[in-house]
Amino acid sequence: MPRPIILFDLDGTVIDSTEAILESFRVAFGQFGHMIPADESIKNEIGDTLENMFLTLGVDSKKVDEHVQAYKMYYRTIHCQKTYLLDGARDAIKKASRFATLGVVTTKTGKYSREILEHLGLMNYFEVLIGREHVTHPKPDSEPILKALENIEHNRNRVWMIGDTPMDILSANNAGVNSVAVTSGYASYQELEKCASQICDNILSAVNFIQNSVENYK
């Protein structure tokens, strides 16, 4: 039987890059003379694509691309030094790697995600990384998860997605795999309980839950 597979979201699940994200949005809005949205308004959209975030925050659809590029130009200069591991994340990933094959599925740019994980000394634990540029339809569509699984032998019943937003959980539901929501990130418990059957406080608790599920499945 193939090993279990655990796919991790990044922002709010494994890492806290809030400072870098907020700063990059301020720079992008300021560059084009816009009023800068409140931090909470930006944080409420984290987990969605940059394109959708700028649209929701009031940028005209014809100007979204230039805002995204301005964001990325600045973000790439600060993303490593202003991104931090969430409590227990390193231990959780190391523990998960002992009984499962690991991957990352994020709406973050894959290039920057890889650089962050390499900077944090964690990239070597992951078999696959799917970022925004690797798919046509990002989460909550099933495509990112299905793409991550393409070249990994797996049993669909033994695949889990861990994430902190409804988009992560809905993507897992749409892909027909298991999911665990964590409250360490950007969505509230009330938002998560509408779509998630299992909710944990953090990534380490989520990994422990999956390990118990794997052992019970044998």
Cα–Cα nearest to 42, from 29, 31, 60, 61: 29
Q: What's the pTM value of the predicted model, to 2 decimals?
A: 0.94
State whether 92 and 193 are in the same domain.
Answer: yes
State whether 23 and 109 are in the same domain.
Answer: no
State whether 47 and 89 are in the same domain.
Answer: no
Across the strands, what pairs with 48?
46
Domain's final residue, options 63, 78, 93:
78
State whether 137 and 209 are in the same domain.
Answer: yes
b/e per residue 116-151 (b: at least 16 CB within 10 A): bbeebebeebbbbbbbbebbeebbbbbbbbbbbbee
| pLDDT of residue 198 exceeding 70 | yes
16 in active site: no
Domain's final residue, options 78, 102, 121:
78
State whether 117 and 66 are in the same domain.
Answer: no
State whether 24 and 92 are in the same domain.
Answer: no
State whether 117 and 175 are in the same domain.
Answer: yes
State whether 73 and 92 are in the same domain.
Answer: no
State whether 61 and 122 are in the same domain.
Answer: no
Domain's final residue, options 59, 78, 97:
78
pLDDT per position as a tens digit, 134-161: 999 999 999 999 999 998 999 999 999 9
pLDDT per position as a tens digit, 55-82: 999 999 999 999 999 999 999 999 999 9
| pLDDT of residue 89 exceeding 90 | yes
State whether 9 and 29 are in the same domain.
Answer: no
- Strand-strand pairing, 15-16 and 84-85: antiparallel
User: How many structural domains is the chain composed of?
Assistant: 2
Range of the domain at 212: 5-15+85-217
State whether 144 and 189 are in the same domain.
Answer: yes
State whether 39 and 112 are in the same domain.
Answer: no
> What DSSP designation does 89 have?
H
- Give pLDDT, residue 218: 61
Given 9, 11, 48, 168, the catalytic residue: 9
**Whole-angstrom Cα distance, residue 129 to residue 111?**
9
pLDDT per position as a tens digit, 9-47: 999 999 999 999 999 999 999 999 888 999 999 999 998
Sign of CA dihedral 174, 178, 184, 188: positive
